[in-house]
Structure 1
Amino acid sequence: MCLLTLAVSLPSLKPPPCHLDNIADCKKASTLQLGVFFCGLYILAVGTGGTKPNISTIGADQFDDFEPKERAHKLSFFNWWMFSIFFGILFANTVLVYIQDNVGWTLGYGLPTLGLAISVAIFLAGTPFYRHKLPSGSPFTRMARVIVAALSKWRVPLPNDPKELYELDLEEYARKHKFRIDSTPSLRFLNKAAVKTDLDSPWTLCPVTQVEETKQMLRMIPILLATFIPSTMIAQVNTLFIKQGTTLKRHIGSSFKIPPASLVGFVTLTMLICVVIYDRCFVKVMRKWTKNPRGITLLQRMGIGLLIHIVIMLTASLTERHRLRVARDHGVVQNGGEVPLTIFVLLPQFMLMGVADSFLEVAKIEFFYDQAPEGMKSLGTSYSTTSLGIGNFLSSFLLSTVSHITEKHGHKGWILNNLNASHLDYYYAFFAILNVLNFIFFLIVVKLYVYKAEVTDSTEMIEGENGKLALSASNHEVSSI
């Protein structure tokens, strides 16, 4: 952020000002200016990739699973974590955008830079007071060892009794305040990594707990795949939804004109309201019916979000069909002129996206954290951010592919620069079909999914030694959607 602030502030690091009415006279940015600007963007991208999965993990790790009160509070952590994230987004989309457009880019970039500096100072000041979990090595290395060991023993038969598989002593897990996980029949081939032979080495023999941790990370991959399509829908908010807004009436009164991008604020605002209602009201009501501490399971919450995504794209398709009909009736199809329809006609699809986020996005990050094994929580949380990244790439791929295919054989195509002559209603209907198919895939995956079993006799030993309430197997979410 320091580099970006300098890039928009120092005259030597930014191109000379020019007027939009005479773009031909504008000078291009120099190699140095481009280098500083893109260097700042790349550093910011790397930093975001390192902080997003880890900060939420550190926050959730501050709650002790062996303390009933803290464990209860932890159930609400990700609701309020996402609340704070979206509150920051709302601030950026309103105050910072206004400052950048009306005051200047220097202050507009300088304020978030100052905010980051304060955040780093607070983080460092609080570090001595955080609960720190000792590193247990790279999760990728641990998983790779299991896979290599299983492949190297693919001809070795599995014992009939799982207790014959290699496992560390119970005292070692109790001493490290970690869970020991019993062997499960799913992904049975990987159990070969724990079969003892005479030629074992660190890369050919793994304890059962390590095998089960690898299984759990692999079991979550189908759920991860089911989140790609809804992540693609999120990308539409900042692209095609806003593009639609540029074609509509945006005047309020005689002078004020609504920026189309400001409608994104309704997504954030709706999400903030829904998160509060969900945490304070919905959970309490559902808890009485389901006896589940979360009200409903995480996968059920994700499923509701996926259903809302179907409704969003159907709503967007019908709204776009109405917009195109009004454009034809007023003869502004070919010239791409303003459609005499208020921009607020797009509000339903923006607000529904906020409702969907309060279900899907919160449940997604909490699910991947909760179901990831101890020592792999950051990797589990990174599944959520990976989903968003792939969704953006998938959005670009689908846009270009559909645009290219629909322009073949002399057709004018669904997606043109002139939206009044396009068929975004067909494109949104296509997305609705994708969401339906994705929801069916999600139901199949959920039906086969087995929730993490993280409790063994080691927790009983910890309870006996520390006098604390350990987790019990009966507390697990074993129901599916």
Structure 2
Amino acid sequence: MEPELSTIGRDNYTDYKGKKADQRKHGGVRAASIAWVVEIMLSLITSCNGVTLVDYFFKSMHYSVAESSNMVTNFLGTAYLLSIIWGFISDSYITRFTTFLVSGTVQLMGLTMLTYQAYNPNLQPSENKTPSYIQALFLFAGLYAIATGLGGMRATLAAHGADQLDQRNKSLISSYFNWYFFSICTGGLLATCVMVPIEQKYGWSTSFLILLFVTSLALCTFASGFALYTYKRPSGSPLTRIIQTLVVSAKNMKVSTGGSVNHEVTEVLLAREQSQHKFKFLNKALMDQNIGVAQVKETKTFIGLLPIFVTTIMMNCCVSQILTFSVQQGNLMNRTIHNFTIPTQSIAFVPIIISLTFIILFEQFKKKNKHKDASNTKFYKPLFRMGIGLALVSTSMFVASIIESKRLEAFNNGKTLSVFWLLFQYILLGLSDTLTLEGMLEFFYSEAPESMRSICISLSWCSSSMGFFMSSVLVTLSNSVSGRFGKEWFGGKDLNHSRLDLFYALLCVINILNFLLYVYFAKRY
């Protein structure tokens, strides 16, 4: 087969009966909008778990402050890391529709276990005691069933929705991901303003029961559109093709290309492709008659995305602080207004509102300028927006360090700082997350080979995973190193006897270096 006739990456969309999709009946904005609705519910579940589980582990399951924080970050980290495996399964073997339903059912099972545990006193530890072996086993089995299911839902939902649209309309794809992130923020807003107060008033058991219902509703809503959807049929293992390309390129590294028919057509097929000179050593794979140009381009594209992916990890490490240490900070601050105590988690609604407003204004700006040439407008480009987001996260950690230092100073003087001081770091981190994650979703989907879109979308969530794990590693490492020089930063019984301000300062320095690295790779992309 000639390289130009390779089928990798070609359109292969069908309806639910397996026949070629009819654009008049299948797909389109109506089908894509179902993903937005489902994402609101999925984000509500994820955000609620993220902001309330740290208190659940600390207050109800009686784990320590550090253990509770690390349990949440490890839970979310595992969920997002597993998205890469689900993405591989979806791209290689089964459709995204099927993957979503299977993984959603797994998450439903996990939530059922946590709900049952919350209602059963025998599965909860006694006061001031940590869980028994059976109680802990039940907790972690349910928790990581949720994580496993969440990974699959995250890997497929955004890509499935984007698959419903005309791939040639880049502006429409960009708008889709803006509104998709709008749905993420809306779910987060409902979690902080509705679910957190419900949990505070009625307890964990009621909260878990509501999440169980919402998960069931999300699965039913998603499945209801099966007749409308277009389905991207899997094209075999893309990772196998990438490994094959790398192995053959390595073998042929020192071999002359003069007599290779496959290599001769490279100049014709890649003449106008930027990828011709990127990772040029991979062109050696074309000497193998079984490897086509499309396969080499697929490999180059995926490898090219990896440096961008790596430089977004530290941003997610900082965002994880909102779910853990920021919650514990707020619990030690003055949260009372006119005899009403504000749940710390509910403060997150302010940056969410700002993010929602930003997306609406951004889309309105695009509409007003749709007839103008926006190709030279940097802010339309996801890489530029991601860069601004990474710059903001360094600023947020600097501000967070100062605020925590002031909070400790007030505590030592017998005073309590207002919880609203946390708004500064919340807003900066919220804007950073909006610009970076929305940009990542659009960038990885748009730049990905068509045969690897689930995997590449998963890179966005995998970055979050690595950020959560990085947070746990840095907490442990900084604790260990600081202990050797006198006092552990997190050695106290709570944050009033710890040095979170120094930890935030460390994150600020690391993120400045990371931003410089991102700029280097983004310019070379």
Structure 1 length as normaliser, TM-score? 0.78
Partner of 1:397: 473
Q: Distance in 2 between matches of 1:279 and 1:344?
A: 30
The SS at the match of 1:304 is helix
Q: Does the alignment pair 1:207 with 2:314?
A: no
CA contact (8 A) 2:335 2:419 kept: yes
1:239-260 per-position Cα deviation (integer Å, ceiling 9, x unaligned): 2222221221111123x22222
The offset of 1:292, in angstroms, is 4.6
**Amino acid of the residue matched to residue 336 of structure 2?**
H
Corresponding residue number in structure 1 for 2:191: 92
Change in 2 beyond 3 A, CA 1:72/1:412: closer
How far is 1:159 from its partner?
4.2
Residue 115 of structure 2 corresponds to which residue in structure 1?
8
2-structure distance, mates of 1:16, 1:34: 9
For CA contacts below 8 A with separation 6 or more, give which structure has more relative contact order: 2
CA spacing shift, 1:389–1:77, aligned 2, 3 Å: same
1:181-237: CA deviation from partner (whole Å, max 9, x where unpaired): 7860211111111114xxx5xxxx310111111011001111111001101011111
Distance of 1:77 and 1:36 partners within structure 2 = 39
In structure 2, give the amino acid aligned to 1:315: V
User: Hey, what's the Cα distance between the residues in 2 that align with 1:252 and 1:123?
Assistant: 41
Q: Which residue pairs with 2:451 in the alignment? A: 375
What do residues 238-282 of structure 1 show as CA deviations (whole Å, max 9, x unaligned)? 12222221221111123x222222223333333222222222237
Residues 64-84 of structure 1 deviation map (CA, whole Å, 9 limit, x = unaligned): 124x5xx43222111111111
What is the CA–CA distance in structure 2 between the aligned matches of 1:300 and 1:399, rounded to whole Å? Answer: 30
Choose 353-362 or 218-227, whichever is displaced more: 353-362
Question: Does the 8 A contact of 1:403 with 1:415 survive in 2?
Answer: yes
8 Å contact 1:100–1:108 — kept in the other structure?
yes
Partner of 1:474: none
Task: Tell me if 1:192 matches 2:276.
Answer: no
Q: Which runs of no fewer than 5 residues in structure 2 stay unpaired? A: 1-107
Q: Which structure 1 residue ranges, 5 or more long, are not aligned?
A: 171-179, 333-338, 450-481
- 1:410-425 mapped onto 2 (5 Å cutoff): 410-411=486-487, 413=489, 416-425=492-501
Question: SS of the residue aligned with 2:233?
Answer: coil
The one-letter amino acid of 1:249's match is N
Secondary structure at 1:249 match in 2? coil
CA distance in 2, matches of 1:47, 1:86: 21
Distance 1:374 1:351, change over 3 A: same
Hey, what does 1:296 align to over in structure 2? Answer: 380
| Contact residue 183 and residue 208 of structure 1 kept, 8 A | no
Q: Distance in 2 between matches of 1:424 and 1:35?
A: 31
Contact kept, 8 Å, 2:489 with 2:500, in 1: the verdict is no
Q: 2: distance between equivalents of 1:83 and 1:14?
A: 39
Quick one: which of 37, 41, 49 aligns to 2:143?
Answer: 41
Partner residue in 2 for 1:355 = 431
In terms of fraction of residues, the more helix-rich structure is 2
Check whether the contact 2:196–2:346 (CA below 8 A) recurs between aligned residues: no
Would the aligned equivalents of 2:355 and 2:431 in 1 still touch at CA under 8 Å? Answer: yes
Contact 1:301/1:359 (8 A) holds in 2: yes
C-alpha distance in 1, partners of 2:428/2:119?
A: 45
Q: Which residue is 2:217 aligned to?
A: 118
Contact persistence 1:15–1:28 (CA under 8 A): no
Give the structure 2 partner of residue 454 of structure 1: none
Query: Could you say if the C-alpha distance between residues 128 and 149 of structure 1 is closer, same or farther in structure 2, counting changes exceeding 3 Å?
Result: farther
Q: Does 1:133 align with 2:210?
A: no
Contact 2:117-2:123 within 8 A present in 1 as well: no
Q: Which amino acid aligns with 2:499?
A: H
Q: Tell me the TM-score normalized by structure 2.
A: 0.72
For 2:149 and 2:485, the matched residues in 1 are separated by: 46
Give me the CA root mean square deviation. Answer: 3.1
1-structure distance, mates of 2:165, 2:119: 49
From the superposition, tell whether residues 287 and 49 of structure 1 become closer, same or farther in structure 2 (CA, over 3 Å). farther
Corresponding letter in the other structure for 1:212: K
Please list, as runs of the form range in 1=range in 2, the aligned pairs for 1:323-338 lying within 5 A after superposition: 323-328=407-412, 330=413, 332=414
User: Between Structure 1 and Structure 2, how many residues are aligned?
Assistant: 415
Structure 2 matches for 1:34-433, cutoff 5 A?
34-66=136-168, 68=169, 71-159=170-258, 164-165=263-264, 184-196=276-288, 205-254=290-339, 256-281=340-365, 284=368, 290-292=374-376, 295-328=379-412, 330=413, 332=414, 339-411=415-487, 413=489, 416-433=492-509
Q: Tell me how far apart the structure 2 counterparts of residues 259 and 124 of structure 1 sit (CA, whole Å).
A: 35
Matches of 2:428 and 2:346 in 1, distance apart?
Answer: 16
For the structure 1 residues 53 and 162, does the alpha-carbon distance in structure 2 shift closer, same or farther, using more than 3 Å as the test? farther
Q: Which residue of 2 aligns with 1:173?
A: none
Q: What is the letter of the counterpart of residue 409 of structure 1?
A: F
Cα distance between partner residues in 2 of 1:96 and 1:252:
20
CA separation in 2, counterparts of 1:401 and 1:244? 21
| Contact 2:351–2:426 (8 Å) recurs in 1 | yes
